Amino acid sequence: MKKYYLLVLCFGAFFNVIAAENTATELPLLKEKVNRAILKFEQTNKNLWAYQISRFEDEEGDISSSIEQHSPQEDKPWSLKKIDGQLPTKKQIKSFAKKKQKQSDSVKKEQNIQLPLRELIHHESLSLVSIDDKYIVMAFNVHLNKLGEDSMGKLQGQLTYQKENQFIEKISIWNNADFSPMFTANITDLAINFTFSHINGAVLAKQNEMKMKGSFAYFTEINETSLDSFSDYLYQGNVIK
């Protein structure tokens, strides 16, 4: 019996070494797949697509929602369809148009209209979590400048790569410890999820979700949920003047 257990242990150690060597060999190839997937996302110009966004926000019980339409072939590409379940008033439409124009001007100055995946996913820190016939799941380190220096080492990330269409289908970010993004603010729970759709070779946003809990100025509770859902994509590049 002792010889049997010894044999099992020896074979187990041998296969663990082989598995480790295979993973080390595979990792550069997997990282390159992720790099190409990021490039595929960067090369997709979302401004050439018509689509609808349904937004939902819950800030400490203060709930709001809206439905927006993006139509790039129109003189004014953004329109407000509904706000809090109702048709918008003229004042709300005017306020919405002003807000979108301000955002558009800011984007032109920054020359960045996409989620910065290349900054979000730290390439060198990528490690394999799991792999099967359909998906590759990889973990990575996260440092978001907007969340402050205190968040360093307290955020984890994971991506799901879909093999068939060779794109990143989901990105999840969460915290493993409390952190302070600014003075007197403390975040105890943070969960961010991005999901994407693959449509005719383009990689487009499907859903952005964020949940955050904590406190501000020691007494004010932070309990926020936001959800943006994208739908009804239609390519308009061939009709834009």
pLDDT confidence of residue 40: 96
At residue 111, the pLDDT reads 46
pLDDT digits (tens), the chain, 241 positions: 555 555 445 445 444 443 444 456 799 999 999 999 999 999 999 999 999 999 999 999 999 999 999 999 888 899 999 999 999 999 999 999 999 988 877 665 544 456 789 888 999 999 999 999 999 999 999 988 888 889 989 999 999 999 999 999 999 999 999 999 888 899 999 999 999 999 999 999 999 999 999 998 877 899 999 999 999 999 998 755 4
Give residue for tokens 């400048």: 145
Clarify whether residues 138 and 216 are in a common domain: yes
Answer yes or no: do 80 and 185 share one domain.
no
Is residue 241, in this structure, part of any structural domain at all?
A: no
Question: At which of 69, 91, 108 does a domain end?
Answer: 108
Largest CA distance in the chain: 84
**Amino acid 116: pLDDT:** 86
For residue 76, being part of any structural domain is answered with yes
Note whether 103 and 180 are same-domain residues. Answer: no
Neighbours of 71 (CB within 10 A): 16
Same-domain status, 13 and 132: yes
Same domain, 104 and 206: no
Residue 240 counted as domain residue: no
Instruction: Indicate whether 194 belongs to any domain.
Output: yes
Give the domain range for residue 221.
2-43+115-235
Is 27 within the bounds of a domain?
A: yes
Q: How far is CA 144 from CA 126, 149, 173, 214, in A?
A: 16, 9, 10, 18
Can you give the pLDDT at residue 32?
97
Same domain, 18 and 132: yes
Question: How far apart (Å, rounded) are the C-alpha atoms in residues 33 and 36?
Answer: 5
In a domain, 142, yes or no: yes
- Give me the pLDDT at residue 162, please: 98
Q: Do the Cβ atoms of 192 and 160 come closer than 8 Å?
A: no
- Same domain? For 37 and 139 the reply is yes
97 and 184, same domain (yes or no): no
Burial 194-225 (b: 16+ CB within 10 A, else e): bbbbbeeebbbbbbbbbbbebbeeeeeebebe
Shared domain for 33 and 121, answered yes or no, is: yes
How high is the pLDDT of residue 108? 57
- Token pair of 138 as six digits: 């990889």
Asked whether residue 126 is assigned to any structural domain, the reply reads yes
Predicted local distance difference test score (pLDDT) of residue 24 = 61
| 128 and 104 co-located in one domain | no
The answer to whether residue 193 is domain-embedded is: yes
Name the domain count of the chain: 2
Judge if 97 and 130 occupy the same domain: no
Are residues 72 and 13 located together in one domain of the fold? no
pLDDT of residue 3: 56
